[in-house]
Amino acid sequence: MSEPVQRVLGPVALDYTVHAGSVTGAFLEALLDKRLVGRRCPSCAKVFLPPRGACPTCAVPMPEAVEVGQRGVVTTFSVIRIPFDGQVLTPPYAAAHIVLDGADTPLLHIVGECDVDTVRMGMRVEAVWADPIEPTLASVRYFRPTGEPDVAWDAFKEHLG
Amino acid sequence: MRPVHIAGIGQIPNVRGDTDHDEVQLVQAVASAALAEAGLHKDDIGFFCSGSSDYVMGRPFSFTMAIDGVGLWPPKRESHVEMDGAWALYEAWVRLQHGDVDTALVYAYGKGHGAPVDGMLTAQLDPYYEAPLGPSPMALAALQARALIDAGRLTERDLAEVVAHARRLGATHPGVPAIDGPLDVDALLDAPYVATPLRAHDEAVRTDGATAIVLSVGGGGPRIGGIAHCIEPIELGLRDLTAATSVRRAAAWAGLEQAGSIDVAELHATYSPQAVLLRQVLGLADAVVDPSGGALVADTPFVTGLSRIAEAARAVQGGAVRALAHASGGPCLQHNLICLLEAR
């Protein structure tokens, strides 16, 4: 009798053609011009960045495109200190929620060009673009401190959740 | 049982290759339309339930993105099935029987055009005995067709006739993409085989789209007179492919025998032999079958079954006394749902 079978490999691979759609597509195209373009809800007037296909509170489409600033405020952050599968950056690095000037929703990104132990809530940061630019959010390499005074808690606390 | 009515329907045309809408946009379009028809606001809805597949959309947690389209902030009671939206409607119907909420919004969305649906359906077969062989859904449907032909239950001409029927009716339906190919039975029979005894046109046209339905306890609109589902084993060798046992049982449990004559039926047949088999086992000789053209001319994965309920409800709104909607999942009609709709 031969060796008993202990495992069977059943590899599955599927190829997709996925379209970003008109809203996400417009956001990605604007990145090619180093612009960050969100959408304003016609009902609650909040500006979503990245844009979404509908306002998650009001459930209406958001046809109005709004370019937001390239500077913003860190509303919350975490310093990643351990390696994991699929990691792109080398620890330690700071992942942060950044509300850009003119936007009402936080963008998840990286804070760079500073000691991770100096990253703090209320810190002012600005986008640093990659070269070359591609239609993905990785075209913003990271956000770096601007050196401006910190933003007071009351000015960004509504964006925490 | 609490009486559950279809209070509103939201539909958009099924299209071949929608590059404009993501899942949020698809859902927003149909959910807002269904709510408007019901005269309700999303904040009036007690329960939300959706049907979709991340494998169809090609992105993980697609259904958690899609809830933006119905505005689930602040958080609401919400559920999702990785099944056709017809089963989301079933869950919502059960949820409404609990008695504490009176309204539900059900929706389904899918993109079948760019998705590797054949590969996906093959991958979900039994992982030891069937999936490694890689049979295509067309090949499995052909096995069922051959079994039915050998049992004297249908002929290739019967298959061509249901395809011609679907194309004739679908050609004038606003939700169906342009019909590509002949409408004539003899011309259809001249087409080459793909997997004998099936030809390319025996397979449904895969499309992109979405459908939403608002349910309410009491009120107006077509009433759900009975709803039930039944499933057979995944191993095809354990099933009699000519018997449609789970279709018969779902129909019996939904109360088809007691219901009286069916005026209109909408069937979820993604291959022509299924369309013939369903007509036979459901006894639809006197019914108008698939006035929308049915699944063969517009098959949006995970939406088609819910769309059948929507189309049957439209028929009742249009004057039919009693309509039957059928939804299916799995190979060769493995899992089946029957929903009977009645005028108030």
> Domain ranges in chain B?
4-116+207-217, 118-202, 223-342
pLDDT tens digit sequence for A70-83? 999 999 999 999 99
Report CB contact under 8 Å: B19, A61: no
CA distance A64 to chain B (A): 15
Which of B71-80, B207-216, B330-339 shows the lowest per-residue confidence on average (mean pLDDT)?
Answer: B71-80
Say whether pTM exceeds 0.90.
yes
Whether residue B134 lies within 8 A of chain A, CB to CB, comes out as no
Question: A-contacting residues of B 67-106, CB under 8 Å?
Answer: 67-74
pLDDT at B157: 98
CA dist B288 and B163 (Å) reads 15
The per-residue pLDDT for range B241-279, each reduced to its tens digit, is 999 999 999 999 999 999 989 999 999 999 999 999 999
For residue A52, list chain B residues with Cβ-Cβ distance below 8 A: 24, 68
User: Which residues, at least 6 apart from B28, have a Cβ–Cβ distance to it below 8 Å?
Assistant: A53, A54, A59, A60, A61, B68, B69, B70
pLDDT at residue A161 tops 60: no
pLDDT single digits (tens) A61-72: 999 999 999 999
B306 touches chain A (CB under 8 A): no
* Type of residue at B211: T
Q: Is the pLDDT of residue B342 over 70?
A: yes
**Confidence bin at B114 (pLDDT 50/70/90):** confident
**pLDDT confidence band for B144 (50 / 70 / 90):** very high
Q: How far apart are CA B137 and CA B223, in angstroms?
A: 35
For residue B115, the chain A residues in CB contact (below 8 A) are 16-17
pLDDT at A55 over 60: yes
What is the fold of B4-116+207-217? Answer: Peroxisomal Thiolase; Chain A, domain 1 (3.40.47)
pLDDT at A1: 65
Written in H, E and C, the secondary structure of B75-105 is CCCEEEECCCHHHHHHHHHHHHHCCCCCEEE
At B153, the pLDDT band (50, 70, 90 cuts) reads: very high
Closest CA to B138 of B127, B122, B153, B149: B122
Residue-averaged pLDDT of chain B: 96
| Equal fold, B4-116+207-217 vs B223-342 | yes
What pLDDT is recorded for position A74?
98
% of chain B with per-residue pLDDT over 90: 92
Domain B223-342's class? alpha beta
Report CA-CA distances (Å) from B128 to A1, A124, B135.
21, 56, 13
Residue of chain B with shortest Cα separation from A24: B22
**In sequence order, what are the residues at sequence separation of 6 or more whose Cβ sits closer than 8 angstroms to the Cβ of residue A3?**
none
Q: Nearest CB to B24: which of A8, A12, A53?
A: A53
A150 Cα to chain B: minimum distance (Å): 31
For B144-165, b where at least 16 C-beta lie within 10 A, e where not — what string?
Answer: bbbbbbeeeebebebbbbbbbb
Residue A11 binned pLDDT confidence (cut-offs 50, 70, 90) = confident
Look at residue B113 in the predicted model and tell me its pLDDT.
85
Band (pLDDT 50/70/90 cuts) for residue A117 is very high
- Compute the nearest-CA separation of B186 from chain A (Å): 36
Decide if B208 touches A, using CB distance below 8 A: no
Residue A107, pLDDT > 80, answer yes
Do the Cβ atoms of A16 and B115 come within 8 Å? Answer: yes
What residue in B sits closest to A55 (Cα-Cα)? Answer: B68
- Rounded to an integer, what distance in angstroms lies between the CA atom of residue B224 and that of residue B322? 10
Q: Is the pLDDT of residue A33 over 90?
A: yes
**Per-residue pLDDT for B60 more than 90?**
no
Whether residue B71 and residue A18 make contact (CB cut-off 8 A), yes or no, is: no
Element (H, E) at B252: helix B245-254
Going by the DSSP 8-state scheme, the letter that residue B13 receives in this structure is -
Any chain A CB within 8 A of the CB of B42?
yes
